Amino acid sequence: MHNLKSQPVTSIDVWKTWFPLALSWLMMGIELPLLSAVVARLANPEVNLGAYGGVVFPLSLLIEAPIIMLLTASTKLSRDLASYKKLWLFMMIAGGGLSALHLLVAVTPLFDLLVGGLLGVESDILEASRLGMIIMTPWTWAIAHRRFNQGVLIRFGHSRTVTWGTITRLFAVVSVLFICHAMAKRVGQPELGIIAATAAVSAGVVIEAIYIAWKVRPIVRDILPTARSNEPPLNRKRFLTFYIPLALSPLLGLAAQPMLTAGISRMPSPTESLAILPALNGFTFLFRSISLAFLEVVVALVERPGGYTALRRFAWQAALGVFCLQLLIVASPLANGWFGTVSGLNTNLAKLASQAVWAALTLAAFGFGSSFFQGLLVYSHSTRSVTESVAMFLVVIVAGLTVGAHGDWLAGAIFAYIIYSLGQAAQFGWLYHRSRPDRQALGQAE
């Protein structure tokens, strides 16, 4: 893509860049429903589903949050070999340090303090969660390595390779789940569900990281040494000024996940609500994932002529389309069939999930708008505004969950999703406000 910056962006260019990335995110979105479906059919499904969806997955995400935005940073900043090497060193240090933190949390009394004390998780779910956290140790470093190299691939026009990497990940996940499901008939271990989920996810991200590292080698060897940029050289100060606010955004945002667990644990039907979280998160992520892919598309294309107009048009069309599609599914028997048949939840849990999912209808649509505005702010290096928007989101989450935990309102999952949707709406509004100067400048330039 480094030799295409002078060419105008068309709708076809947006689709060609977005579709492979959206497909990749969509396949990752399939992962959680797949895990839920298998774990729901093994021993102690409510405990193991609650452990993975309510503790292990959100806590692992929170620990890896500082390196999540490496994908965006690499897409924007990996413009030559010198910049690539500096980003690579940061990735190795951050990934290794956060992996050590993950293991420290998993094997020390800190886990009991956080999960048992702060989150208020029940003892049976607590012990299953501890085992899952240990198995998930390779997760953070593998994701740091993968996302860094994916950004290089996207910047230089190889977004399809990202999709193939996700296919290798999904193949590894399915293989591990198949083995664990086959073992269930011979092994009656009650923790097999959490073992299956975390082993599958860990194997998947490691395999994908290895594949992406292999595929990025020709770019590092042949293209980056001759690539040139008009931007100032990347130094430590410029990188940290750009990246720290960007890294704080997912850190603050993912803090909402354990907060949701803590809030749900103090609301009506806590065990049932935690048990349906993996299925609920998996279903909603299938739609939200394709909007998350749009952020890197904006970062990669907005600097080209006509990019702003084409990206804005695509964002609104995609938001309307995904909202209508999700409404069609949620309002029909398909939703109950998904949670009951595909996810393997029993009748009561499937009914609760079908009710809670109504509160998530706006998440994907707002996601396209938020990705568009964030991409504009990243382009102008106004990453602090992105952090501010997540802070707004978090304020709404904390206030809403505090109200929910002190009243007998609704089942925890339903109330939590309502608050989550309100928080995302607040974040969208702030991004819209803060990106106004960038939208005006880009609109006038075109």
* Mean pLDDT across 360-388: 89
Predicted local confidence at residue 2, as pLDDT? 47
Q: Alpha-carbon distance 375 to 309, whole Å?
A: 13
Q: Is 304 helix (H, G, I), strand (E, B) or coil?
A: coil
pLDDT digit string, tens, across residues 394-421: 889 888 888 877 777 777 778 888 888 8
191 pLDDT exceeds 80? no
User: Of 170-179, 214-223, 253-262, where does mean pLDDT reach its minimum?
Assistant: 253-262
241 pLDDT exceeds 50? yes
* Mean pLDDT across 319-333: 90
229 pLDDT exceeds 60? yes
* Mean pLDDT across 261-282: 77
Half-sphere exposure of 404 (CA within 13 A, CB side): 29
1 pLDDT exceeds 50? no
Task: From 398, 399, 385, select the one nearest 428 (Cα to Cα).
Answer: 385
240 close to 66: Cβ distance less than 8 angstroms = no
**Does 56 fall in a domain?**
yes
**Does 141 fall in a domain?**
yes
* Mean pLDDT across 367-372: 92
How far CA 136 is from CA of 105, 112, 247, 381, in Å, comes to 12, 17, 21, 34
6 pLDDT exceeds 70? no
The DSSP 8-state label assigned to residue 359 in this structure reads G
Structure tokens given for 289: 């994932």
> What confidence tier does 23 reach under pLDDT thresholds 50, 70, 90?
confident
**Does 17 fall in a domain?**
yes
- Provide the sign of the torsion angle of the four alpha carbons 15, 83, 88, 219, taken in this order: positive
What amino acid occupies position 53? G
Predicted local confidence at residue 434, as pLDDT? 93
Question: In whole angstroms, how large is the CA radius of gyration of the chain?
Answer: 21
Looking at per-residue pLDDT, the higher value among 317 and 43 belongs to 317
Predicted local confidence at residue 185, as pLDDT? 65
> What confidence tier does 91 reach under pLDDT thresholds 50, 70, 90?
very high
Predicted local confidence at residue 53, as pLDDT? 77
**Does 151 fall in a domain?**
yes
Beta-carbon count within 10 A of 436 CB: 12
How far CA 132 is from CA of 36, 122, 128, 180, 245, in Å, comes to 14, 15, 6, 14, 30
**Does 322 fall in a domain?**
yes
* Mean pLDDT across 180-201: 80
**Does 6 fall in a domain?**
no
> What confidence tier does 267 reach under pLDDT thresholds 50, 70, 90?
confident
Predicted local confidence at residue 187, as pLDDT? 62
* pTM for the structure as a whole: 0.74
How many domains is the chain partitioned into structurally?
Answer: 1
Predicted local confidence at residue 446, as pLDDT? 62
Q: Alpha-carbon distance 332 to 93, whole Å?
A: 49
What does the mean pLDDT of the chain come to? 85
**Does 47 fall in a domain?**
yes
The DSSP 8-state label assigned to residue 42 in this structure reads S
User: Of 55-59, 277-281, 320-324, 430-434, where does mean pLDDT reach its minimum?
Assistant: 277-281
Domain that holds residue 51: 11-445
Percent of the chain with pLDDT over 90: 27
Please state at what angle helix 270-292 crosses helix 294-301, rounded to 10 degrees. 20
User: Of 111-115, 193-197, 407-411, where does mean pLDDT reach its minimum?
Assistant: 407-411
418 close to 361: Cβ distance less than 8 angstroms = no
- Provide the sign of the torsion angle of the four alpha carbons 244, 249, 252, 255, taken in this order: negative
**Does 422 fall in a domain?**
yes
Q: Alpha-carbon distance 173 to 203, whole Å?
A: 7
293 close to 21: Cβ distance less than 8 angstroms = yes
Q: Write out the DSSP string of 176-236.
A: HHHHHHHHTTT---TTHHHHHHHHHHHHHHHHHHHHHHHHHHHIIIIIGGG---SSPPP-H
* Mean pLDDT across 243-261: 76
Buried b (16+ CB within 10 A) or exposed e, 350-360: bebbbbbbebb
Structure tokens given for 211: 């594949």
Predicted local confidence at residue 379, as pLDDT? 87
